[in-house]
Amino acid sequence: MAESQQRPLGLQMLRGVGIFQAIVALPTMFILGMMAYIQLFESYLLYYYFVADSLTAIMAAGIIFIVYVQRKAIVSSFQTLVFEAIKSALATGLWLWLILDSAFGPWKNWRHIGDEDVERRIKRAALSSILLVLLFYPPLGYAYISWRAGDGDDDQDAERSERTERTPLLSQGCDSSA
């Protein structure tokens, strides 16, 4: 009768973590995108701020785009690995830019900024590594392990390609012969 069409736990967890990744990247994209837009019209600021805000907003938008594509498309284990690697690389790039800007950015040459402010900003930026460790690297590790465990097993990918986004989460495969 009706075949149970549920995702394996690991794939469902990847989808859930993807939602949290998008939630983390969304405010970053909007805030930095708005700052880049404002700096288009303020000519007294350095070009650095416009470039930095634009590129980091695009990187955050890239994370959101990949999460959207992963939720809507049927992907193989290798494609999942590639998507997770790209998201992790974008998140690591954002984090690295945050750390380097905190330590060496042009803002620290302002007169009212002291050394303790620079140190405090670097510590806060370093705390953001918790998001990397919790939200981006474990899904990458899981995608790598599931890809290595599959090693060209296309039967599971073909079975998964028959499932769609509209598959009910609580579908039951009970026989009702009346």
Q: How far apart are CA 89 and CA 91, in angstroms?
A: 5
Q: What predicted TM-score, i.e. pTM, was given to this entire model?
A: 0.75
User: DSSP class of residue 76?
Assistant: -
CB neighbour burial string for 146-156, b if at least 16 within 10 angstroms, e if fewer = bbeebeeeeee
pLDDT at 62 over 50: yes
The string of pLDDT tens digits covering residues 115-152 is 777 788 788 888 888 888 888 999 999 999 999 998 55
Q: What is the pLDDT of residue 2?
A: 43
* Pair of tokens at residue 30: 């909007």
Mean pLDDT of 5-24: 84
